[in-house]
Amino acid sequence: MKQLIITVIGKDKTGLVEQLSDTVYNNGANWLKSSLTQLSGQFAGIVQVEVSAQHIQQLSSALSQIDGLQIHIVEAQIKASSQQIMQKLTVTGNDRLGIVKEVTTHLHQLGVNIYKLKTSTESAPNWGYPIFKAQFQLELPADLGIDVVQEQLELLADDLTIDIEQ
């Protein structure tokens, strides 16, 4: 069995996820994990499936026939368990240009791998300006404490709040 990562993007429409899941199922693949969303009228997602080698071409062909979707498929790289520590971190602050760049640059400099990132802006009716929120799932090197990460990120700006989920 092989694991594939399928990325999809296209104009959002009702029934698109069902069509995608039907195609995966009808072509001998097992849907393992996914992250799917609608952003400004576009459907975007990533799906991890498991499929036997003899069905890969059939699945790829069937996926490419879904009208209006751009599909990209790569074989998953299954990595052995590591000595890295998973940690959840939330960054909240006044929305402004460059927050994601600043935070990700600092994380990279510390040798931290971003496993998952979800961002949003939310209205702050009592304040009159939008609030930016980023939720990270991080892989820390075994020799790096989360307290060091928090300290470094708090140096970025006075208006950023760094919360660690224990």
Summarised one tens digit per residue, pLDDT across range 75-129 is 998 766 556 678 999 999 889 899 999 999 999 999 999 999 999 998 877 767 8
pTM: 0.79
**Mean pLDDT score of the chain:** 92
Instruction: Check which CATH number belongs to the domain holding 67 and give it.
Output: 3.30.70.260
Per the domain annotation, does 119 fall within a domain? Answer: yes
Q: Which of 43, 75, 107 is where one domain is finished?
A: 75
What confidence tier does 60 reach under pLDDT thresholds 50, 70, 90?
very high
Average pLDDT over residues 8-16: 96
One domain for residues 39 and 68 = yes
139 closest CA partner among 77, 76, 81: 81
Provide the number of structural domains found in the chain: 2
One domain for residues 89 and 66 = no
Range of the domain at 25: 2-75
- Of 59 and 123, more confident: 59
Per the domain annotation, does 118 fall within a domain? Answer: yes
One domain for residues 20 and 58 = yes
Residues 6 or more apart whose CB falls under 8 angstroms from that of 133 comprise 90, 91, 92, 119, 120, 121, 122
Average pLDDT over residues 39-56: 96
Per the domain annotation, does 123 fall within a domain? Answer: yes
What confidence tier does 49 reach under pLDDT thresholds 50, 70, 90?
very high
pLDDT over 80 at 69, yes or no: yes
Q: Which of 55, 75, 95 is where one domain is finished?
A: 75
Per the domain annotation, does 80 fall within a domain? Answer: no
One domain for residues 61 and 102 = no
Per the domain annotation, does 108 fall within a domain? Answer: yes
Per the domain annotation, does 146 fall within a domain? Answer: yes
One domain for residues 61 and 107 = no
One domain for residues 92 and 154 = yes
Residue 25 three-state SS: helix
